[in-house]
Amino acid sequence: MHIHIENDPAGPQALQLSETLLWQRLQANPALQGKFTLSENHDPQHLAEFLLVADIVWAGRKFPLYQHAADATRLRWVQVISAGVESWLEKWPDAVQLTNASGVHGEKGAEFILMSALMFNYGIPGFLQDQANQQWRPVFGGCARGKKVLLLGLGGIGAAAAALLTRQGYEVVGVTRSGQSTATVARCISIEEVDAELADTDVLVSTLPLTPETDGLFSRERLAKLPSRAGVIIVGRARVFDYDALSERLNAGTLAGAVLDVFYEEPLPQGDALWQVPRLIMTPHCSLDDHGAYLEGCLTLFLQNLERYLAGEPLINRVSTQKGY
């Protein structure tokens, strides 16, 4: 059986998987040694040749698989190293399983969300504005304990964040498609029930993927239901939210703040109005990714999945190409 590693020559070195490393890890595992041949590619122009022989692809970069349908006749499984997979789904072949890297980001993502929630609690976005204006205006607020977090999405990052926020004393209301979850939350509701929860929300967190259902979900009308004390944290996909409407509320001073790690266009273009929105704190799409630990996390997941694949068991993190996550 053949595993092809398709690396991204434009990506960070820390995210390139070498054939040598994978070979060593396969050899070290009695269930996997001797079962696979390997190839590794860094030149997108040569992908087609490798797809002729690949049963399994480790995808370190995105490519439109449907353009290679005629070549990739042996292909049965693609493991991607990102969590969001919306760009993969166009004309996805039924015969190929798609698995993502959801959960590998858990610890760092959860910690970033906790930090961001506490920043609202301690008034940091407002104090930064006061500092720029040389204004001394103390605010003596309370602790996180008992404040309400509405947490959209309880996948790998969302579930880890729910546990950490709960431990800090936040009341976490989780939001999932089904309204069900095994994550550590005070309550779990479905996306349809979200409107009734917004008026007393202190912190709104989105870890949602981009799907036809989530695209534009937080419209101007929905954002308008948040109270002025609320802060918004977005680490999932940007297009779930109306950033213009969010900016307007921040410009009007009717939100406590926002911490955004994701944007419609990345890098955010110079001159974009978002750069200067008050009470908006931006991180350049790096707050979930721990490059020191990420490749190893993805590789561990892949090796577990290879064992399952050989045993005919369901793969971890299999994406529903209908749901889109």
CB of 120 to a copy of itself, least distance (A): 10
Chosen residue from 256, 281, 298, 301 binding a copy of itself by CB under 8 A: 281
- Minimum separation from the CB atom of position 111 to a copy of itself (A): 6
CA–CA separation, 76 and 61 (whole Å): 18
Q: Which of 90, 190, 192, 275 touches a copy of itself (CB under 8 A)?
A: 275
Residue with tokens 């410009």: 251
When asked if residue 12 is in the footprint of a copy of itself (CB under 8 A), the reply is yes
Convert residues 164-193 into a mask of x (bound to a copy of itself by CB under 8 A) and - (unbound): ---xx-------------------------
118 touches a copy of itself (CB under 8 A): yes
Which stretch in 25-33, 127-135, 187-195, 232-240 sits in contact with a copy of itself by CB under 8 A? 127-135
Residue 292 contacts a copy of itself per CB under 8 A: yes
Among 131, 180, 219, 300, binds a copy of itself (CB under 8 A): 131
What is the rounded CA–CA span in Å between residue 201 and residue 209?
21
The answer to whether 137 contacts a copy of itself (rule: CB under 8 A) is: yes
Kindly state whether residue 64 participates in binding a copy of itself, applying the rule CB under 8 A: no
Which residue's structure tokens are 């205006």?
137
Alpha helices in 19-151 (DSSP H): 19-27, 47-51, 106-121, 124-132
Span interacting with a copy of itself, options 108-116, 239-247, 295-303, 317-325, rule CB under 8 A: 108-116
State how beta strands 148-152 and 171-176 pair: parallel
Side-chain half-sphere exposure of 193, counting CA atoms within 13 A:
14
Break the chain down into helix, strand, coil percent, rounded to 5: 35, 15, 50
**Both structure tokens of 5:** 């590693």
Burial (Cβ within 10 Å: 0-12, 13-18, ≥19) of residue 316 = middle
Output the six-digit token pair for 321: 């190409």
DSSP 115-140: HHHHHHHTTHHHHHHHHHTT------
On whether the CB atoms of residues 164 and 155 are closer than 8 A, the answer is: no
Which residue among 10, 13, 94, 267 contacts a copy of itself (CB under 8 A)? 267
For residue 220, report the phi and psi dihedrals to the nearest 5 degrees: -50, -45
Catalytic option among 105, 237, 239, 249: 237
Q: Which range in 136-144, 186-194, 301-309, 314-322 contacts a copy of itself by CB under 8 A?
A: 136-144
Known catalytic residue: 237? yes
Q: 292 or 312: whose CB is closer to a copy of itself?
A: 292
Question: From the list 200, 266, 307, 313, which residue makes contact with a copy of itself (rule: CB under 8 A)?
Answer: 266
| Biggest distance spanned by C-alpha atoms of the chain | 68
297 in contact with a copy of itself (CB under 8 A): no
Strand partners, 260: 234, 282
Cβ distance to a copy of itself smaller for residue 3 or 124: 124
State the catalytic residue, choosing from 266, 307, 308, 313. Answer: 266
Which residues are identified as catalytic? Answer: 237, 266, 285
Binding site for a copy of itself (CB under 8 A): 12, 14, 107-108, 111-112, 114-115, 118-119, 121-124, 127-128, 130-131, 134, 136-145, 167-168, 266-268, 270-272, 275, 281-287, 289-294
